Chain A
């Protein structure tokens, strides 16, 4: 499906080139290389606040970019950057990053006991959608295991206080999880940061 997207947009671009001489049409690589300065080479982030893009599904990345562009997510720098691209260009970038291997940032510290407790919570409340600890792009869910620690914390906080919208079933699960353990966010973040499955 991802490869189809690339072929489709390649044809689209070729069509443009034939039809309109002066129309600039940067390729998927050209567009995606501009992300690497902040998100790491090929989207493999080594930072603890900026998330990796490598291995995300195209659907997930395109949805995120559209939400930023429409100011539907909290105003990070991404809202300002997303406004520089068309939806077709989001598709190209989505295809590029979906083609990369998922990256795990192993340089982050975590508490092993919390990680173990977090693993149980993840299995019970998150694992159905974020399969294999959230390391499978094909499930169209965000990367969890090995992603940037602060980004995971920010995301959970934003889902929780409603500044980032979430699917109904996720909201329900999150509520249940917090009811069982009020420190659940801290525990699952430690689990994800551990990079273990």
Chain B
């Protein structure tokens, strides 16, 4: 924060509290005395929370523990599948966070002890915290589809819903598919990470096939009856990929029409629901989801498989002094998106800074923005502004919504594609830079 020091930040971010006096933060020595934060998980929510805590208050000791030395963004990974981008372009390391004075530890967290306020890792290290921020992202419910498991996903049938080697595996399968072959995509039930993602993936694969394998087909088998940006996607598919005609490259089957998948036969390259069997030359199954593994180990989840939180601070309603941000949290009406995780990470960071300084958590403000690319020159978006009211996160009436689609505005759609690419540059820099 240029032109502004920490003190003026604390004063302004803690508006409305009488406690924002010098006495609340003067006596603490640097680190070790009641101002230690451990962040578990270095994805979109965790990394931005760690960075912003350090931006707001350099006297707080922040350790971020992440299992992988690099992070691949889920958003924009569909453009790697279509070959528009390289995998390297969605890869981010943690040197930026180190530059903010975050202690980055590459290790796997194996346990969080809420009573002892301590985090343990696979290599045997132990980290004490005053407040812990858990941002583990998602895990898959492989058991919902007979015959599908992690081993199958790693060898033949991708989920490609955590980016990295899965992304390039699906890309290579699509690019080497026989002429006129069929890509089957199974889309998951709600709630799941990145609601428009399966449909942008469909669009990006169609964009590739239209150029390189124009007689190929994409069959989208959906657990649901409708999906995010439905009108914009299906409208775009009509415009670019013949959707709705006999010659359509894309067919979408809703849940009640047989789209719900129950089993996978890997050898036969077939998925089955209770109505039909579907054969594919490439099969991509995006499974049903739940909070990331460590959230379950730490007892932060409820019966839904996700983590209940308080929306002003993102503190767990199960364990005190532990906050959960990003896809793992029950943050509705905020979606499980990268931008929402970014917004949540900052609200949580401000709350943690205030609480560690003896103040009450400041009033939050949250935003979601999300771009998808249907075809070259055709970008679409959705946005929403949220506030905290009467103990809940609420949408601000009259704000947000979708790209206007009454008429196909060429100028707007071209610009939205480029705004989407800038969005990518800035959100990744805001998180990891």
Contacts and interface: CB of A to CB of B under 8 A. Distances in A.
B319 interface: no
B195 to A, nearest CB: 17
Nearest to A84: B385
Contact of A41 (B4, B347, B389, B433): B433
Contact of A37 (B15, B404, B427): B427
Interface stretch (B222-230, B273-281, B295-303, B338-346): B338-346
A41 B415 contact: no
Given A34-B365, A100-B2, A77 B12 contact: no
A41 B3 contact: no
A26 B369 contact: no
B388 A154 contact: no
Interface stretch (A10-18, A58-66, A125-133, A171-179): A10-18
B15 A17 contact: yes
A102 B4 CA distance: 14
Nearest to A157: B411
B9 interface: yes
Contact of A14 (B16, B339, B386): B16
Nearest to A45: B426
A27 B362 contact: yes
Contact of B426 (A28, A40, A100): A40
Contacts of A22: 389-390
A99 interface: yes
Interface stretch (A47-55, A110-118, A185-193): A47-55
B429 to A, nearest CB: 5
Given A25-B363, A33-B346, A38 B426 contact: yes
Given A34-B346, A34-B367, A47 B412 contact: no
Given A49-B418, A49-B421, A99-B3, A10 B385 contact: no
Contacts of A162: none
Contact of A148 (B389, B409, B416, B422): B422
Contact of B418 (A13, A24, A75, A150): A150
A146 to B, nearest CB: 15
A81 B383 CA distance: 7
B362 A30 contact: yes
B369 A100 contact: no
Given A34-B346, A40-B426, A75-B404, A25 B15 contact: yes
A42 B433 contact: no
A40 B412 CA distance: 22
A81 B367 contact: yes
A100 B363 contact: no
Contacts of B214: none
B419 interface: yes
A74 B339 CA distance: 23
A24 B364 CA distance: 8
Contacts of B411: 74
Interface in B339-360: 339, 342-343, 346-347, 350
B430 interface: yes
A49 B412 contact: no
B419 A46 contact: no
B400 interface: yes
Contacts, number: 163
A8 interface: no
Chain B: interface secondary structure? mixed
A14 B14 CA distance: 11
A77 B13 contact: no
B237 interface: no
A188 B369 CA distance: 31
Q: How large is the interface on B (under 10, 10 to 19, 20 to 34, 35 or more residues)?
A: 35 or more
Interface in B392-433: 396, 398-401, 403-404, 409, 411-412, 415-416, 418-419, 421-427, 429-430, 433
A77 B367 contact: no
Nearest to A35: B367
B364 A77 contact: no
Contacts of A39: 426
B357 to A, nearest CB: 14
Given A26-B365, A27-B363, A42-B1, A50 B423 contact: yes
A80 B415 contact: no
A141 interface: no
Contacts of B9: 29
B396 A84 contact: yes
A30 B365 contact: yes
Given A26-B363, A30-B13, A37-B367, A80 B422 contact: no
A37 B2 contact: no
B106 interface: no
B387 A41 contact: no
B207 interface: no
19 contacts: A26-B362, A29-B9, A34-B367, A36-B342, A47-B423, A47-B425, A49-B419, A74-B412, A77-B381, A80-B400, A80-B401, A81-B369, A81-B383, A83-B398, A83-B399, A100-B3, A101-B3, A150-B415, A150-B418
Given A22-B390, A37-B339, A40-B426, 14 more contacts: A17-B15, A26-B364, A30-B13, A30-B362, A45-B422, A45-B426, A46-B426, A47-B423, A47-B425, A77-B369, A81-B385, A84-B367, A99-B4, A154-B415
Interface of B: 1-4, 9, 12-16, 52, 339, 342-343, 346-347, 350, 362-367, 369, 381, 383-390, 396, 398-401, 403-404, 409, 411-412, 415-416, 418-419, 421-427, 429-430, 433
Interface of A: 6, 10, 13-14, 16-17, 22, 24-31, 33-42, 45-50, 74-77, 80-81, 83-85, 99-101, 148, 150, 154
- In order of increasing CB-CB distance, the 9 nearest A-B pairs are A84-B385, A47-B422, A84-B399, A17-B16, A50-B422, A26-B365, A49-B418, A34-B367, A47-B425
